[in-house]
Amino acid sequence: MNILERYHAMDYAPAPEARTEADAWLAGRDFAKALFIAGDWRAGFDGRSFDTADPSTGKVLAKVSEAGAADIEAAVAAARKALPKWSALSGYERARVLYAIGRAMQRHQRLFAVLESLDNGKPIRESRDIDVPLAIRHFIHHAGWAQSLASEFPGRRAAGVVGQIIPWNFPLLMLAWKIAPALATGCTVVLKPAEFTPLTAILFAEICERAGVPRGVVNIVQGGPEAGAAIVNHPGIDKIAFTGSSEVGKIIRKATAGSGKKLSLELGGKSAFIVFEDADLDSAVEGLVDGIWFNQGQVCCAGSRLLVQESVAEAFIAKVKTRMSRLRVGSPLDKNTDIGPLVDRTQLDRVRRLVEEGARQGAVCWQPDHEVPQTGYYHLPTLATGVAPANILAQEEVFGPVLATMSFRTTEEAVELANNTRYGLAASVWSETINLALHVAPQLEAGVVWVNGTNMFDAACGFGGYRESGFGREGGREGLEEYLAPSEPHGPVIKPAAPRAAARDNGEAHGIDRTAKLFIGGKQVRPDGNYSLPVFTPKGKLAGEVGLGSRKDIRDAVSAARACKAWPEATAYNRAQVLYYLAENLSGRTEEFAARISELTGAAHKAAKAEVEASIERLFWYAGMADKFEGRVHQPPARAVTLALNEPVGVIGIVAPDEAPLLGLVSLVAPALAMGNTVVLVPSATAPLVATDLYQVIEYSDVPAGAINIVTGHTGELAAVLARHDDVDGLWVVAEADICAQAEAESIGNLKRVWTGHGRSLDWQTAQGDAFLRRATEVKNVWVPYGD
């Protein structure tokens, strides 16, 4: 046999990773006491346990103690007790602990990697080279944040006791994403790993003991849904951070509604992998392997929808099939393995059902001719072609090694197909024309976009999604903010406004009747139901009438806001000019608005005028910030830069307060507009004429039609309609506690971003700053590689 023949005949011999140390750790550990609470190892109060198994063989690795409600109670109590002292430490003192954790993990990183592959089934190359090093990176990176917290986030404080629930696909990495920023900000933690993959969390708790983490600061409780529910519902927890399915995320959103808990959700995805005709096809194929077959496709941001330009589709699919035929399926501890087993039998059965249903709906499912190991939960890599956009494989998160393929002709069609999903986590764009790639990236409704790459992560760069992929971010500056308490100046508790009855001698209003209409799409329109509401002064005098808005009126207003492209597409400088113009035109009617506020609220004329002047000043401030609240450029330890772009949330519903009816309204609407959002506003129910008087100011201030829409009516009813509307992307509510809670609970349809005052008003005189600008933006991280 000559050299060329030997080269073509060459195959990979087994290269098994030694598991001696991992087996010794498993044999030497008492898993009957695997709950780490207040620095002690405990068994569960009720003595229950569960098995964790090796997915490649189905053999049990350990029988682990299971936490119940009583154990969660103990863990929360420990975290609450440790909170004051931990949060009072200097940033430097917390930084030393975080750094010690990272260094201790480095010393044991091979053991972490082997345990991760044994427990999860992912190939050892991925655990060893990606998961564990990146987990370590998060702790060392956040040590720096801990020390710089006071200067970078002045006036902010730790959110408090944090309940964290993580999934089984990246057990150690998700733990690091959650615990590192929590500890850096001074929070204490109760973390529940997934019941399929508890082992590396237990080893991490041992690391915490060695690294000098104070007792009660980190509590790790193994368990299933009962333990998770106990964490979510516990009144002693101030923030919930969850990574998992969108279905469970919606349950958590509803369960925490009205509780006042901070909430961040990193959920599912159906990410587009877009290949343009000028792409380096061979590089794109390798990127696709990482995009969909990394971790057996059990990745929330997996590039599971391949969109390839029609002119190169046939050639590209042929290359993909060739590459798939060379993927090695086998033991996760073999260093040559590309695809290991799925995590559990239930996951394997689910993937099989979805593939069968996709085929029934018309997809052609192809698999390479590989042998599958006789034991374990293996599924061959699968390529589905002929996939219609409505096919289940194009719409549902499979969470397995299954790729759905579609073609497109134009850039516009590619963007439309990519955005044809209820998710919005990530996307990849492949093109050798950087102008094209950076033209497409901002149009994709996804929190992360990789250009000529995929599955790139770093502790310095935020990660998270839009829509049903959740809200909040992991990593980076924005991820750290999830663990800091808000800094708004709180006002009094909002109580239901007492109904204002007409005075006995009031009679009809004098003069020509002018019932204020609604303001939708740049026009004054009658309410759909043709009903109106009387507006009385505090003394019972009829000040006028306003339209009684309904669900149909909110629907029309949202449609007008969604159709307004001129405002979000305007430059920040143009938006600033319009807001300045609004302020200028409002200032010309200061006396008129002061008189109206005085009439409707009973405030003295001097105080009413001061409110108008403060509103003008606030418009000026947000106008000035429109082109200054900018994104950032991150430099991860890779040949890439990450552009953290601030983008508008979209359509924001705003329910304004009765208190300070003009200043409260302006303080909410101005930051939303400054960042390029369009607005559907429900103004004060007791003083709605203050808002309707703004119609003319808006009309002659060059505000595009649909940028601001105003619907008057009953606050609670209209807030609920906005919460349920799936074309509303964000909702801000300042109202009574029950209205706020209902808005949060009703928002689960599309998991819109909701902020409420939790039944409290703000001090509107000082409620100015970056907080509402942050709420008015989504941060999109665009990764751009460079070099050869």
Active site residues: 266, 300
- Cα–Cα distances in Å, from 403 out to 115, 187, 317, 386, 738? 28, 40, 11, 12, 45
DSSP code per residue over 123-173: -HHHIIIIIHHHHHHHHHHHHHHHHHHHHHSTT--B--EEEEE--SSSHHH
Residue 304, Ramachandran bin (φ over 0: left; ψ between -120 and 50: alpha; else beta): alpha
Lookup result for tokens 């139901």: 529
Q: How far apart are CA 282 and CA 272, in angstroms?
A: 18
DSSP code per residue over 549-589: --HHHHHHHHHHHHH--HHHHS-HHHHHHHHHHHHHHHHTT
* Buried/exposed 97-124: b ≥16 CB within 10 Å, e otherwise: bbbbbbebbeebbbbbbbbbbbbbbbbb
Centre a 10 Å sphere on the Cβ of residue 578 and count the other Cβ atoms it contains.
Answer: 21
Lookup result for tokens 């798939």: 324
Q: How far apart are CA 440 and CA 401, in angstroms?
A: 26
* Buried/exposed 207-225: b ≥16 CB within 10 Å, e otherwise: bbeebebeebbbbbbbbbe
Strands (E), 326-408: 364-366, 382-385, 402-408
Q: Which are the contacts of 171, defined by CB distance < 8 A and separation ≥ 6? A: 116, 119, 120, 193, 194, 197, 198, 199, 200, 201
* Residues 723, 725, 729: CA angle, nearest 5 degrees: 80
- Cα–Cα distances in Å, from 555 out to 42, 562, 653, 707, 727? 54, 10, 11, 15, 9
Q: How far apart are CA 543 and CA 516, in angstroms?
A: 11
Q: How far apart are CA 409 and CA 404, in angstroms?
A: 17
Classified as helix, coil or strand, 658 is coil
Q: What is the CA radius of gyration of the chain?
A: 28
Burial class (CB in 10 A: 0-12, 13-18, 19+), 57: middle
DSSP code per residue over 21-85: HHHHHHHH--GGG-EEETTEEE--TT--EEEEE-TTT--EEEEEE---HHHHHHHHHHHHHHHHH
Token reading at 210: 């060695």
Q: How far apart are CA 415 and CA 419, in angstroms?
A: 6
